[in-house]
Structure 1
């Protein structure tokens, strides 16, 4: 793995700015409008600070996860550089995470039980981060990545975590198409890959806007949400995708230009 460019301090600045600048813009707008509809300022502060996620499972769980995760990433990177085989090191971490996330704690305190459940929700998403962190240098250097590590192992871990967390889950059937889709991507044209690249570039902003735009439609355009045309909420979902993508692209471009000046 390559040395963190510019040192740890520069890495922290780059990563946190990339995540927190668009987050504060989008969450700020969403919470200002929510306060105008009756949300208290205290609730808005808890929401924007991501504290509300850990306490009540409200707000942007992904941002709440990234803030502490990025804090320990340089330590993880340093360990990966020192050991001989980062693959097995990553596998051990993932196994530990899977084991902890599968534990069920009986807790009489409702608030503590909610906090534990919110931590578990974050834990089940961490293996993807650590596996991606392990594979990223190989992809950048255009090394051949084993199909086993790229598809089979992550897929097996996801299925195992879902089973431990939910028991039988009908969504397991979807996973059978994942290896096929990954192979198809290898033969897809440039246009298709450009489309995927576009959505990947604005994925953070899209994630943040999806829930907000969805609630805006329900609150400000109830005639659309309650319309017979919106049967199955398909019109609602379509508007969320269209409007959310447009707003996500605009915020992404705005943040890119603003951060380049600094």
Structure 2
């Protein structure tokens, strides 16, 4: 991305404002950086890692765009909603919402605690729904809502995934319904479903990496940049006529 004669960033998203929930690390941080590289001003939310969030903000700001971080523990009801409004106020509106924040809880159904159920539902479902609802009051017409799910919503290949997969499956119905609601405003709604992606949550060096890769057509983990590139495409001009769609970025694991 270069600069124009006025020293402003050029790119397909120049002038746009984006918010990425859970943007302090992993896939969320990569999305924030890619959006900044495309010219967007970027806000991120984080839970506990203020230092890591500040690092991402510095990296994005170094691209010549504005960037801020807002603390928003997704397990606290209303926190993400308030963060959406704060970010929009700080950066002057909102054009792109990326619902990225999520957690995982694994284990047999019989051994799953009520606390685990509540946490998964609050972060992976409720915060996505209510955060999006809050964003609709500030999201400009022609904007984008992009949610990050998981390919485990479509194909569950191992025991211990029922709770997590259930929460990610809910995002499919949410996205399709949201697309109908927002169509009259030319706002698109899409779901990106990563497969095995090399992050600190699921490193390619993990003990079960070989088991995960056994179903991969390409034979290797994806990267956070792979997911971020898809998000930028959906957020840009190329995504203007894509809505209500699920894009699975998993190296063919679900093929």
Structure (1/2) with the larger helix percentage: 1
TM-score, structure 1 normalization? 0.30
TM-score, structure 2 normalization? 0.31
Bigger CA radius of gyration:
1
